[in-house]
Chains A and B, each alone.
Chain A
Amino acid sequence: MHALVGENGAGKSTLMKILYGMQKPDEGTIAVDGEQVAFSSPADAIARGIGMVHQHFMLADNLTVLENVVLGSEKLHGIGGGARRKIKEISDRYGLSVRPDALVEDLGVADRQRVEILKVLYRGARTLILDEPTAVLVPQEVDALFENLRELKSEGLAVIFISHKLGEVLSVADEITVIRRGTTVGTAVPADTTPRQLAELMVGSELPTPETSESTVTDRPVLQVDRLRLEAEGGRAVLDDITFTIHAGEVLGLAGVEGNGQTELIEALIGLRSADSGTIALAGDEITAWPTRKRREQGVGYIPEDRHRHGLLLEAPLWENRILGHVTEKPNSKGKRGFWLDPKGAQEDTRRIVEAYDVRTPGIDVTAASLSGGNQQKLIVGREMTHKPRFLIAAHPTRGVDVGAQAQIWDQIREARREGLAVLLISADLDELIGLSDTLRVIYNGRLVADADPATITPEELGSAMTGAATGHLEHVEESTGESTEAGAEASPEASADTAPEDEAR
């Protein structure tokens, strides 16, 4: 099992695309089983036994597992009994426990991922490429995935594993390659490496020691949500009885397995969906009926969970993306209610953001699509922070972002918090959630079911509440020395990453 780590824009995705035949190398060679190969399409790669599990699943929701697996390779084992037998066989052999006749839309994230893996194995893959497979999973699911991967390994398959979570990489990989800015900067053996060494290798410099920050929570409420309820078509509640308050200078962390109402909550707060009952108030003004634009003008910042769908115009230049969401505000426009666009002002400010937030780009006229994910995210964070929001919705602010940029984004959030920003933080990265939040809530099935103190809680305890197993106020059960409490206490996700490998390896 070989792990590939590196900053965003380091070239991990490009390398994977080349290995999978989606892009052609300009120089150099690839050898499979000692034999030099040249791929011109993914089909070639598949024929050579290379399979890819993408970060975003590529499954048809309204088809069954069986149908999804055979789709596109009907010739292999047919579409009927033969295929079903083959799927059963693979599933049993590697302990994937996949049910061929389940509908994909009924499956959870972890199950879908297993279907993706099975799909690749079905096509005869001997080398699996997994692109950030753990980004969408809770800790318990991550462990299960690693079990599966070890199973694959013991059967003689090779796995290439891309991740940002260094703890995971160290616990599961046999060998690690670090790449930075398009070249290999080193290799490491997990046994002799600490996450910190690895992180420094990735970033290419000493990591800044995270400063200890004292609480900045004030008693001035900025966002008050009261008994918010949102219904899906047909009257089923997707959000019910959501009540919370975020004060100036407070980060409220919302933990939860994806699909438990986080998306809907964000949409209700930003104004994309209107509440069926309940109220939302911003600094005392009721904003429940305000349209999205007014909310944004009045200081609701938004770092969306899916930046491609909600945060960027992919085919527009960076400076136009800098305007997006703030078109009525300076420096993007001038005149009454920002009638006239101000391209010069926007371009100038984009250059500033690119500079200040270390967005790696050759210029501001390139399209957003040509930047790597992390650099896109830095642009979004820079854009939102520039407008000095009073309340920030930060959904997975560092998803797909490398260690260096991650620390930077955290710093920016902390900085703004010190100046009185209220933040709703939604993240699948529990270390981030625990490290950054002042208050923790757990959302399950559209309800806030539990709360916890980030100073004492561990990711595992939080994880069990996320699956609905625990409710109410979560108390940390002291079992070892004070070390784990220490790590979580002082808002230092880097520090807690240090302890992560033990946790995950168990």
Chain B
Amino acid sequence: MKKFDKERLLLAVAGPVIALVAAIALTSVVLLASGRNPFEPYGLMLEQASFSDVQVLIVNQASMYYIAALAVALGFRMNLFNIGVDGQYRLGAMMAAAVGANVSLPSFLQIPLLLLVAMLTGAFWAGIAGILKVTRGVSEVVATIMLNAIATSLIGWLMLSDNWGVQVGNNNTTGVMKESGWFPGIDLGADVGEIYGLVFLAVLLGILYWAVLNRTRFGFDLRATGESESAAAASGVDAKRMVLISMLISGGVAGMSGLPLLLGEVHTYSLSFPAGLGFTAIGIALLGRNNPGGIAFAALLWAFLDKASPALDYATPVAYEKEIATIMQGLIVFAVVISYEAVRQWGLRRQQRQVGAELAAAAADNNTTQKEVAAR
């Protein structure tokens, strides 16, 4: 039995490793093709990662990626593709910022209130897609893509000065949040920076994600539905209810993914609030195999590529384009999808063979292979 555990670990690691190696190799090919040194950029980027201020940036960025990727992964675990994480995240952040700018409670109430607002907003937005799927059979992929577009327009409209917007220079914002809603970070000194306090929210959500999926009845029903909808239904899972609930949870988590930045640094939602986080999160959830540990690794890797690459532009003596990192991220997603499927199939076949071999061996032991020839 131990052997199978080790097997499974090996298989789990083989997929990402193959994908990363392939992605790096292909990036080198791109570099070669454009007449550059195929290896130097990696060295430059790794060097960046050794600076504490860059490390802080990486951790902060990774915390947001992590939360958003958990939201995506939760859907994946039951075969739901929530592409709308991006809209849910932006809308959640904006609503939290708006409430934070207009409500003033003591910190111990204000912060939970903001978390709740962000969560409910995200859940509401994803819930629309959930209800459409359950009642009308609308694919959640289509619905959430549309809802992303609607969220963009809705946010634009809400942030007009006629509504909740506050003009700051030529940037529209929701106004600065009341200080009771700022979440204190860990200050590592002036030249290093501050780690967002809500990094711990990401960690907590990761633990919760694991516990709910692996240790509760609900999690089992969810995974069962993802693995075989028909078997889950026969086992007593109400598939529609399950779709709705997981959409709500996924949206709720997605709604919170902008909070580390909002409560920890910028304290206002503006037009320059980063968009596209939800799409990046899809790649991260894929690379992390929907596993909380794997996603943490993937989020850190992605954040590293993001934060270490700008220095490439200023490298001496030869400068590289920082877009190399973007190319790599794209290639990783590609390689991940292919290598995971290949490894999965290979693993299944291998296990079947092993089971066969072990049974045959066991049979040979207590059978001493006597061949009866009957009725000849």
**What residues of chain A have their CB less than 8 Å away from a CB belonging to chain B?**
9, 11, 14, 178, 180-189, 192-193, 197-198, 201, 204, 270-272, 291-297, 302, 304, 309-316, 320, 323-328, 333, 337-341, 343, 360-367, 369-371
Q: Is there contact, CB below 8 Å, between B371 and A186?
A: yes
Give bound CA distance, A187 to B373, whole Å. Answer: 6
State the Cβ distance, B350 to closest chain A Cβ, in Å: 9
A341-B214 CB under 8 A given contacts A186-B372, A187-B373, A188-B376: yes
By the criterion CB–CB under 8 Å, are B373 and A366 in contact?
A: no
Instruction: Choose one: A181, A188, A292, A370; the contact of B236 (CB below 8 Å).
Output: A292
Is residue B18 within 8 Å, beta carbon to beta carbon, of the partner chain?
A: no
Give the residues from 323 to 376 in chain B that come closer than 8 angstroms, CB to CB, to chain A: 348, 351-352, 354-356, 358-360, 362-364, 367, 369, 371-376
On whether the beta carbons of B235 and A192 are closer than 8 Å, the reply is no
Q: List, sorted by A's number, 10 A–B pairs whose CB atoms are closer than 8 Å.
A: A182-B360, A185-B372, A204-B367, A292-B234, A292-B237, A324-B232, A338-B217, A340-B217, A362-B362, A366-B4
Q: Report, nearest first, the 4 A-B pairs whose CB atoms are least far apart.
A: A293-B236, A181-B363, A325-B235, A310-B234
Q: With contacts A185-B372, A327-B217 known, what are 10 further pairs, Cβ within 8 A?
A: A182-B356, A182-B360, A185-B371, A186-B372, A314-B227, A320-B220, A362-B1, A365-B1, A365-B8, A369-B352
Contact between A325 and B234, CB atoms less than 8 A apart: yes
* Interface pair B371/A365, CB less than 8 Å apart: no
Name the one of A181, A270, A365 contacting B360, with C-beta atoms under 8 angstroms: A181
Residues from chain B with a CB closer than 8 A to the CB of A343 are 214-215
The CA of A297 and the CA of B376, in the complex, are separated in Å by 54
Total cross-chain contacts (CB, 8 A): 152
Does B233 reach chain A (CB closer than 8 Å)? yes
Q: A293-B236, A313-B231 are in contact. Are A341 and B215 (CB under 8 A)?
A: yes
Tell me, rounded to whole Å, the shortest Cβ–Cβ distance linking A88 to chain B: 39
Across the interface, which residues of A come within 8 angstroms of B364, CB to CB?
Answer: 181
Of A311, A363, A371, which is within 8 A of B234 by CB? A311
A187 to B91, CA, bound (A): 72
Cβ contacts under 8 Å, A309 to chain B: 228, 230-231
Cα–Cα distance between A367 and B215 once the two chains are bound (Å)? 19
Q: How far is the CB of B366 from chain A (nearest CB, A)?
A: 10
Nearest CB on B from A170, distance (A): 11
Measured between alpha carbons, how far is A301 from B54 in the docked complex, in Å? Answer: 59
Question: Judging by beta carbons under 8 Å apart, are A197 and B234 in contact?
Answer: no
Contact A193 B215 (CB under 8 A): no
- Chain B residue, CB-CB nearest to A178: B374
Whether A312 contacts B231 by the Cβ 8 Å rule is: yes
Whether A201 touches B351, Cβ cut-off 8 Å, given contacts A323-B220, A360-B359, A363-B4, is no
Which B residues lie within 8 Å of A182 (CB)?
356, 359-360, 363
Q: Which residues of chain B from 212 to 240 have any CB-CB distance to chain A below 8 Å in the complex?
A: 214-221, 223-224, 227-228, 230-238
Distance A291 CA – B242 CA, assembled complex (angstroms): 14
| B191 contacts chain A at the CB level, 8 A cutoff | no
Q: B220, B232, B363 — which one has the most chain A CB atoms within 10 A of its CB?
A: B220
Judge whether A324 and B231 touch: CB under 8 Å: yes
Residues of B within 8 A of A326 (CB): 235
B5, CB-defined interface residue at 8 Å = yes
B359 and A193 contact, CB distance less than 8 A: no
- Tell me whether B233 and A272 are in contact (CB under 8 A): yes
CB of A293 within 8 A of CB of B4, answer no
Query: With contacts A9-B359, A363-B4, A370-B355 known, is A341 near B234, CB below 8 A?
Result: no
Question: CA separation between A180 and B372, bound complex, in Å?
Answer: 11
**When the two chains form the complex, which single residue of B217, B236, B367, B375 contacts A296, counting CB atoms closer than 8 Å?**
B236
CB distance from B367 to the nearest CB of A (A): 7
| A316 in contact with B227 (CB, 8 Å) | yes
Checking B8, B237, B375 against A192 with a beta-carbon cut-off of 8 angstroms, the contacting residue is B375
Contact A189 B355 (CB under 8 A): no
**Within 8 Å CB of A294, what residues of B?**
236
A361: which B residues are within 8 A, CB to CB?
355, 359
A326→B375 CA distance, assembly (Å): 47
Contacts of B8 in A (CB 8 A): 365
Chain A residues with CB below 8 A from B230, complex form: 309-310
Structural contact, B217 and A187, CB atoms closer than 8 A = no
| Separation of A49 and B369 alpha carbons in the complex (Å) | 33
Q: How far is the CA of A60 from the CA of B232 in the complex (A)?
A: 26
CB-defined contacts of B234 to chain A, threshold 8 Å: 270, 272, 292, 302, 304, 310-311, 325
A362 contacts B358, C-beta separation under 8 Å: yes
What separation, in Å, do the CA atoms of A370 and B220 have in the docked complex? 21
Which one of B223, B360, B369, B374 has the greatest number of beta carbons of chain A within 10 Å? Answer: B374
Chain B residue at smallest Cβ distance from A366: B355
Contact B215 A340, beta carbon cutoff 8 Å: yes
Contact B235 A315 (CB under 8 A): no
A310-B234, A341-B214 given as contacts; is B352 within 8 A of A370 (CB)?
yes
A467 CA / B352 CA spacing, docked (Å) = 40
Q: Hey, which chain B residues are within 8 Å of A364, CB to CB?
A: 1
Q: Is the CB of B221 within 8 A of A327?
A: yes
How far is the CB of B110 from the nearest CB of chain A, in Å? 32
Q: Given contacts A312-B231, A328-B217, A340-B217, are A197 and B375 in contact (CB under 8 A)?
A: yes
CB-CB nearest in chain B for A362: B358
Whether B374 and A14, one on each chain, are in contact in the complex, defined by CB atoms closer than 8 angstroms, is: no
List B contacts of A272 (CB < 8 A).
Answer: 233-234
> B340 → chain A, closest Cβ, in Å?
13
Of A297, A314, A365, which contacts B228 at CB under 8 A?
A: A314
Least CB distance from B9 to A in Å reads: 12
A184/B371 contact (C-beta < 8 A), A309-B231, A340-B215, A370-B348 known = yes
Q: How far is the CA of A337 from the CA of B223 in the complex (A)?
A: 19
